[in-house]
Amino acid sequence: MSLNEHKQRLKRLREAMAKARTSAFWVSHAPNVFYLSGFTGDSGGLLVEPSRATLLTDSRFTTQAHEELAGARIGVKIVKGPLAAAATAELLGRRFRGSVAFESARVTVADSARLRKGASGRIRWRGAEGWVEALRRVKDAEEIAEMRQAARLASEVLTEVIALLKPGLRECDVTAEIEFRMRRRGATGPSFETIVASGPRGALPHARATTKPLGRNELVVIDMGAILRHYCSDLTRTVFLGRAPARIRRWYRAVKEAHEAACQVLRPDARAEEPDLAAREVLRGYGLEAAFIHSTGHGLGLEVHEEPRLGRGQKSPLGPSSVVTIEPGVYLEGLGGIRVEDDVLVLPSGPQLLTDAPREFLEL
Amino acid sequence: MSLNEHKQRLKRLREAMAKARTSAFWVSHAPNVFYLSGFTGDSGGLLVEPSRATLLTDSRFTTQAHEELAGARIGVKIVKGPLAAAATAELLGRRFRGSVAFESARVTVADSARLRKGASGRIRWRGAEGWVEALRRVKDAEEIAEMRQAARLASEVLTEVIALLKPGLRECDVTAEIEFRMRRRGATGPSFETIVASGPRGALPHARATTKPLGRNELVVIDMGAILRHYCSDLTRTVFLGRAPARIRRWYRAVKEAHEAACQVLRPDARAEEPDLAAREVLRGYGLEAAFIHSTGHGLGLEVHEEPRLGRGQKSPLGPSSVVTIEPGVYLEGLGGIRVEDDVLVLPSGPQLLTDAPREFLEL
């Protein structure tokens, strides 16, 4: 992240803070701390005030914090014990007074007690939900470039690994191969536990890979993604090992059409439920609506599941330069599942697919 | 998990609930839900009452929940929307009255508001901390057998990969190799982001693997672990690429002696701080105390970091059949780091090492 982007992000956050009349904001959710400061340690919080920002972390991260925040005009303070208690102590130590926001959807009840303990009326802690997450929905140019690469990496790896599939290979061999190839290309890890679900196991949308061998005449669902320089990708393809019966080809066609219909309505001012409605309408036409048991997608970025959820009742607009997944699927107990998923950048000029593995039905 | 173990666990939890005079307990932390019910989905909560238990989850997990809970005498209820709201609705729908505990160190402030919303005085929600975690500290025979295998898997893989190390290999190539070999042996993934830190980068205890090539005459710290059938292992070795200067051999000796001293004091009635004090005393003798910037270890099980923390001020006893890591280290800015870590089962008869990769200083 360039120092300029980082300054812009803190500036936009301070605008939100001013609007909410809060004197400080305790940011403790790790992806939010990284987004605002560039700090990548897994224990740290950022105290943002109108004219200063301070990272609190522990002694394991002293060197790392100074390196990562170099030039960022963010102070570093090394503390002992729970960070929430340290945040309160830091404010009290400076005779701070006023209203301080904290991330109520991220802070536990136990930690919020630590925030309040000892504040004795001089600090008014108040819950705030989604302030940094709202900024994160709009990806800047640098983020889009990173996400494009994370998506390309996943696409290349999945395309390669699909070419290796054959009956007898175990599901866990396939995940091993996928994660190895992602790592070798520089990914810091999978963005979630890689799913390889063959045959009837494909009917579980979140099946873990097992030692089950892939069977002849089975559907295989592969759902995988890479974290590359902090940004996530998320990609699913379904193939058939053998020559598929007509009904399976028909189901695949239905899912692919639902995917296309959902992509077509993606624009910055579309409501987050619109792609879901579009996908569901196509599947209804095929009599498969009941087999589609999850929502159509979700935001993607520093985390693999971000706002918004592309599901019924979600009225907020997608927003400019947002990145979402489109992943309709059908799940038929005893038979298996079919899901096709891509990562899509939502631009005023229309949707742009970031993942580009072949989308045609493959019979291997 | 056998059905018998599962019944025992619920029974012990209900004893704790009775002692605390609570009529029900809303368990929402995923490893705790798995521990009590066997459910492995990543979205679900368990409502435990004196004479019944109900798993709440969403439609993506319908089939999986019924499969995983088969025979367990736990009801399954498929719900929409936030689980916390569903838990309240479930109790109110049954005209429940009384005091219900929730996991205050796991539930966010936003979710606790959802628990309370609409409860209108008929339910008294109260925070409870560490009830299931306290049960989890004591590993039963089946868990110990699983952890032994997870530890052996990590030991075998690390031993193999150390034999492959040579200058020029990139840090990320080494992580790729480690995770590939873990996967091929059936691991569902690494238990944390594998650390390979070479040369001066080793001075960062939590360094991420980069594309930096391993250099000649550098220390290389490798910290890795596998999740095998839900249980974690955690293992660190440090090697030198070349012939090490005398001072590095002396540092290694200091860390290894600290490791041995910490292991020697492990017994069920030892306070959790004792191994830390023992390790620190050895390093003080070498003038290296200031270079040891983290605590000596932590509990290990379904999560890679569990209670207790083996650090100063931790007075609780380790407990019978607990499993902890012992991982002293020294970190010298600009030079690198040395850490030696093993997983140890704490028995009345003495400590038993679960990991068994060679512990001697290797100069490759």
B122 to chain A, closest Cα gap in Å: 21
Q: Which of B29, B63, B296, B314 to mutate to test the interface with A (most CBs of A within 10 A)?
A: B63
Q: Is-contact A338 A251, C-beta < 8 A?
A: yes
Using an 8 Å CB-CB cutoff, list chain A residues near B41. 206
pLDDT score of B277? 98
Residues of chain A with pLDDT under 50: none
Which residues of B are less than 8 Å from A127 in CB distance?
A: 109-110
Q: Would you say the ipTM is above 0.85?
A: yes
Q: Please report residues of B whose CB lies closer than 8 A to that of A40.
A: 208
Residues of chain A found within 8 Å of residue B102, distances taken between Cβ atoms: 109
Partner-chain residue, chosen from A40, A113, A204, that has the shortest CB–CB distance to B63: A204
Q: What is the mean pLDDT of residues B340-349?
A: 97
pLDDT at B301: 98
pTM: 0.92
Neighbours of B51 (CB within 10 A): 5
* Number of Cβ within a 10 Å radius of residue A269: 11
Cβ distance of A108 and B105 shorter than 8 Å: yes
Mutation pick from A63, A125, A131 vs chain B, by most beta carbons of B within 10 Å, is A63
For B192, name the nearest residue in chain A, comparing CA atoms only.
Answer: A189
- Closest Cα in chain B to A66: B204
**Residue B172 Cα, gap to closest chain A Cα (Å):** 6
Chain B positions in Cβ-Cβ contact with residue A104 (cut-off 8 Å): 108-110, 113
Model confidence at B249: pLDDT above 90: yes
Cα–Cα distance measured from residue A50 to residue A180, given in angstroms and rounded to the nearest whole number? 45
| Nearest Cβ partner for B180 among A112, A180, A293 | A180
Q: Is the pLDDT of residue B1 over 70?
A: no
List, edge to edge, every strand of the sheet that includes B342-347. Answer: B306-310, B297-299, B322-326, B342-347, B350-353
Where residue B294 falls among pLDDT bands split at 50, 70, 90?
very high
Contact A218, A184 (CB under 8 A): no
H/E stretch holding A56 reads: strand A53-57
CA angle B127, B130, B135 (to 5 degrees): 135
Nearest to B109 among A109, A172, A204 (CB): A109
The whole-angstrom separation of Cα B140 and Cα B145 is 9
Residue B4 has pLDDT above 90, yes or no: no
The amino acid at A158: L
Task: Give B118's pLDDT tier (boundaries 50, 70, 90).
Answer: confident
Q: What is the pLDDT of residue A1?
A: 58
Give dist(CA B293, CA B12) in Å, integer. 38
For A170-182, how does the pLDDT look when each residue is reduced to its tens digit (9 = 90+)? Answer: 999 999 999 999 9
Contacts of A190 in chain B (CB under 8 A): 189
Q: What is the pLDDT of residue A119?
A: 83
Note whether B183 contacts A176, CB cutoff 8 Å: yes
**What is the C-alpha separation between B310 and B183, in angstroms, rounded?**
30
Distance of alpha carbon B300 from alpha carbon B322, whole angstroms:
8
Q: Which of B100, B111, B180, B230 to mutate to test the interface with A (most CBs of A within 10 A)?
A: B180
Q: Do A209 and B203 touch (CB under 8 A)?
A: no
Check CB contact under 8 Å for B206 and A61.
Answer: yes
**Chain B residues with CB-CB distance to A64 below 8 A:** 204, 206-207
More reliable by pLDDT, B311 or A118: B311
- Residue of B102, B112, B180 with shortest CB distance to A176: B180
Q: How confident is the model at residue B121 (pLDDT cuts 50, 70, 90)?
A: confident
Average pLDDT, whole number, for chain B?
Answer: 95
Instruction: Return the beta strands (E) in chain B as ranges.
Output: 24-27, 44-48, 53-57, 75-78, 98-103, 123-128, 189-190, 195-198, 219-224, 226-228, 231-232, 235-240, 297-299, 306-310, 322-326, 329-332, 336-339, 342-347, 350-353, 362-363
Q: What is the pLDDT of residues B164-211, one digit of tens each?
A: 999 999 999 999 999 999 999 999 999 999 999 999 999 988 888 999
Partner-chain residue, chosen from A40, A106, A206, that has the shortest CB–CB distance to B61:
A206
What is the Cα–Cα distance from A175 to A210, expressed in whole angstroms? 9
Which domains does chain A show, CATH number per domain?
3-135 (3.40.350.10), 141-363 (3.90.230.10)
**DSSP class of B185:** T
